[in-house]
Amino acid sequence: MNQTAIYIHVPFCDHKCIYCDFYSIITSDNISGFLQSLKKEILFYSERYSEGREIISIYFGGGTPSLLQPDQIGSILSEVKKYFTVSANAEITMETNPGTVTTYKLTEFKDTGINRLSIGIQSFDDQDLKFLTRIHDSSTAKETVINAKQSGFNNVSIDLIFNLPEQTLEKWLKNLNEAIRLPVKHISAYSLILERGTILNKMVLDGKVKLQDDDYDADLYRNTISFLSSNGFSQYEVSNFAQNGFECIHNLAYWTYKDYIGLGPSAHSFVDKKRWWNFSSLRFYIAAINQHGNAERHSEILSSDQMLDEYIMLSFRSGGINFQALEEKFGVTWLKENYGYLEMLKNKNLIRMNSKMASLTADGYAVCDEIVKNLLK
């Protein structure tokens, strides 16, 4: 069976944060139209890709999926399970934000089949949260994690952002300390990135906000790796840390180059060497689904060189390159051409390497982009 992941983009949000570049709309209008179209899209792709596939992960992203009602999430899951073969122990994740869910609603979400929560906390510092224009405060953030545990969620992940303007190392480490005190199994720690089209990007261009330099960002990142690794959270990808056995299956599907089907506006898919992405606008998405059964805006068929480059990049970002798997997929040429460079990286303690694997060290993760760039065709 081909192990495949499904991503479902729920675009509705109650607020647009200054740094966010994901497609979202600040309205609850047309939820019914979205749900109807989503179910048609599920049917469309099941007729093409369900045979011989086992769904190992379903991920509700957004937007803020928890703004939907539990019965609406449940109806989506029922539709997926009706038309696809979903593994009995599939990871089913829903993103949520502090202040948008009660304990009762969380319990109802768990009853629908959600078994993993990803909570967008971003910071436990009220000053940072105000800068990021989050709608919650630190107290609400902690309360949401505790409520999730009380609602029966044993697999809880939180997102945190570092290298905010004027964020000291002391303040960032305080954030991490707050995180590990809570009942969380997984922490995603991202550096603040300036994305085109965001409010934050305009604020920087207008001189209203000044970001800290790359060297300071790298120092915070190294301290993040050191702190979390010393406190029971192993790094298994550039920005992701987990207690043993709680690595995100959905993330691993992307990083190990498995197929994934994206549903909903702006969602991306990758199946059988083809990558495609949906219309972002909810209006265009619904219109396309009604007309064609799918909302594909553009697509590309990847060449062997493109697939090799992506495989190398994704492998190094996560668990490392398995030489046998690499050879089975792409032959021996790449390893022969790059073995000398890998030896040099090993001598500089940027990678660990033996006869079977090559993977980044903590120092290597800090310069991952540069390493990968030198390895791509």
pLDDT digits (tens, 9 = 90+) for 271-298: 999 999 999 999 999 999 999 999 999 9
Helix 169-181 vs helix 214-229: crossing angle, to nearest 10: 30
In whole angstroms, what is the distance from residue 21 CA to residue 295 CA? 20
The answer to whether position 270 is within a domain reads: no
Residue 367 · residue 317 · CB < 8 Å: no
Domain CATH code at residue 315 = 1.10.10.920
Q: Are 102 and 184 in a shared domain?
A: yes
**Does the pLDDT of residue 204 top 70, yes or no?**
no
Of the residues 255, 287, 320, which one is the last residue of a structural domain? 255
Is 271 inside a domain boundary?
A: no
The dihedrals phi and psi of 371, each to the nearest 5 degrees, come to: -60, -50
Domain boundary among 255, 274, 292: 255
Q: 144 and 61 in one domain? A: yes
218 & 311 share domain: no
SS3 184: coil
295 lies in some domain: no
The pTM of the full predicted model, rounded to 2 decimals, is 0.94
> What per-residue confidence (pLDDT) applies to 201?
66
Q: What is the pLDDT of residues 313-361, one digit of tens each?
A: 999 999 899 999 999 999 999 999 999 999 999 999 999 999 999 999 9
Q: 318 lies in which domain range?
A: 304-375
Task: Say if 117 falls within a structural domain.
Answer: yes
- What tens digit of pLDDT does each residue of 76-110 get? 999 999 999 999 999 999 999 998 899 999 999 99
Residue 292, domain member (yes or no): no
Evaluate whether residue 318 is within a structural domain. yes
Instruction: Provide the domain count of the chain.
Output: 2
How many percent of the chain have pLDDT more than 90?
80
Residue 273 covered by a domain: no
Q: Are residues 52 and 196 in the same domain?
A: yes
**CA-wise closest residue to 289 among 45, 79, 28:** 45
Residue 27 has pLDDT above 80, yes or no: no
Q: In this structure, are 246 and 312 located in the same domain?
A: no
Question: CATH number for the domain including 244?
Answer: 3.20.20.70
Contact criterion met (CB below 8 Å) for 302 and 273: yes
